[in-house]
Amino acid sequence: MKIKPQQYAQVLFESLEQAPQSDWQKMINNFAKLLLEHNQISQLDKIIYFFDKLWNKRKNITSTKIISAYKLDEQTETLLKKYLEKLVDGEIEFSAEVDKKLKGGFLLRYNDNLIDYSLKNRLRKLKTKLIN
């Protein structure tokens, strides 16, 4: 039976959670060796993804991502962070990226939510209204 990335992530997470932090490096090294022995190193990206989700849930950290048509200035990022702090309970892990396809505006992802204030989306909605 093949072990899924989610299962690897769960086992690693639970093992680290029960061990003192001073043992973590050794445990992670042993985990990497295990993946190599079982030819599962190609699953590492998925394992890290699921581990990150478990970690954030336990530590009450919400991953957020802002995707904008242009690089945001510090003032705008600060305003968005304050807005997010009101929406979520706990700490925020904030990342930003640029996607020129949006034309203008931004997308805001947090938890399983998407707030779409992009120009591309507004134009699509306008087109739909004009056609109907």
pLDDT tens over the chain, length 132 residues: 788 999 999 999 999 999 999 999 999 999 999 999 989 999 999 999 999 989 988 988 888 899 998 999 999 888 888 888 888 878 888 899 999 888 888 898 888 889 898 888 888 888 888 887
What pLDDT was estimated at residue 45? 94
Place of tokens 């993946």: 35
What is residue 7's predicted lDDT score, i.e. its pLDDT?
94
Predicted confidence at residue 63, as pLDDT, reads 86
- CA 23/CA 116 separation, integer angstroms: 43
Nearest CA to 6 out of 37, 49, 61 is that of: 49
